[in-house]
Structure 1
Amino acid sequence: MMGCSFRANSRLALALAVSVLVLSIAGCGTSVERMDTAEVKDLSGAWNDTDSRLVSEEMIQDVLSRDWLPEFTRTHKKKPAVIVGEVLNLSNEHVNVNTFTADMERALINSGKIQFVASKGERGEIREERKDQDINAAEATRKPMGQEIGADYMLKGTINTIIDTSGSSQVRYYQVDLTLISLADNVKTWIGQKKIKKFVKRGNLRY
């Protein structure tokens, strides 16, 4: 009888162990929740998509509201052509500068007040396509070389951070500086600055 009881207890213990293992594996599974792309969700306190979008939109609204724009339009009888130059990440963390510049381009184009010129990398690819058209495209549809619109202004900038940490608390300070420069004479037409400050508090803070 004791042998049967021992085997029964062993089987019960094994069944319980298997159940615990199955539950543990299930608990470790990946959970995915879809979010609205406009929803604000700060997890680490680091620079994120919301910062990129809000900073670019606010700074572009500022540059478009200044006197240089109506003065240029009145003098030249056209919309100014703008190109986004280099935006340097001088911070101590990874910032997706490409996403930030894309947000700026979108805000500029959607304003309807600016002509936007293709970037240096984009122009190279387009020029290669024109060369190919010179050989292979029908004359009626061929796009000739030398017809590009030259940019009137270049928008350049930097992203900087200051991180102040004490124990499990941290203040993350971001400063974005943008400058609009006239390509005709190198005059700085507009200088914009946006600051973001975040207080982060959590256990076992490590960076």
Structure 2
Amino acid sequence: MLNFLNRTAALTLLGSSLVLTTGMLAGCATTVERVDTSEEIALSDQWNAKDSELVANEMIGDMLSFPWASEFEMDNNRKPAVIVQRISNKSHEHIAVDTFINDIKRAVVRSGKANFVAAGDARDQLRDERRDQELNSADAKAMGQEKAADFALSGTINSIVDEAGKKRVTFYQVDLSLIDMESNIEVWSGQKKIQKLQKR
């Protein structure tokens, strides 16, 4: 009888421990929720997706407001073709430059004022695809008809960090310039600054 009571007490204690442990684990569980991608969520003072989108939209809007685009279209009876030559991350942190370049591409294409030319690897992939099409289809687009760029966009992303006590200010500066590929003349130069304050 005593043995049975000890066993029952041990099982009760074990059951209580499991319930308590499960409750504690449930209380510590991480929750995840989906949010609208247009909503800004600033968890730190680092460069984020919203910064990338805002800078791209503002700078491309400014770039396309300059007369080079309308003058080119008037002289050539077509929209100018733009390519991103190089954007370098010279900031203190890792920035996904490809994401920024994609935001720039979207801003250019959505404007309807210029066309965007695929660069580097993307062009190589298109050439391979065209070769495959030509081998397999009589009406595939002919090789060598890809569009050359009229203007090249390049630039840098820089940053400065200033910290004192429980405050840190991070300053980002994006500089972009657009070059006429034929004349090598810089037809536009733009700059966008972002300053973020983080308090601990």
Q: When the two structures are superposed, what TM-score results if normalisation uses the length of structure 1?
A: 0.87
Change (3 A) 1:7 1:61: same
Equivalent residue for 2:163?
165
Question: C-alpha separation between the residues in 2 aligned to 1:20 and 1:162?
Answer: 49
Matches within 5 A, 1:62-141: 62-138=62-138, 141=139
Cα shift at 1:19: 3.6
Question: C-alpha separation between the residues in 2 aligned to 1:35 and 1:160?
Answer: 29
Cα shift at 1:75: 1.8
The aligned amino acid for 2:73 is: T
The aligned amino acid for 2:170 is: R
- Aligned-pair identity in percent equals 47
Cα shift at 1:7: 9.0
1:110-146 Cα deviation digits (max 9, x unpaired): 11110111111111011112222332222xx122112
1:50-101 Cα deviation digits (max 9, x unpaired): 0001000000110011121222222222211111121111111111111111
1:148-195 Cα deviation digits (max 9, x unpaired): 221100111111111111232100100011110111121111111000
Q: How many residue pairs align between the two structures?
A: 199
Residue 199 of structure 1: which of 194, 197, 200 is its match?
197
Asked if 1:153 is matched to 2:151, the reply is yes
SS of 2:135's equivalent?
helix
CA RMSD of aligned residues (A): 2.2
Stretch moving more, 26-35 or 58-67: 26-35
Equivalent residue for 2:174?
176
Question: C-alpha separation between the residues in 1 aligned to 2:16 and 2:158?
Answer: 55
Question: C-alpha separation between the residues in 2 aligned to 1:102 and 1:62?
Answer: 17
Equivalent residue for 2:58?
58
5+ residue gaps, structure 1, are: 203-207
5+ residue gaps, structure 2, are: none
Cα shift at 1:13: 6.0
Q: When the two structures are superposed, what TM-score results if normalisation uses the length of structure 2?
A: 0.90
Equivalent residue for 1:205?
none
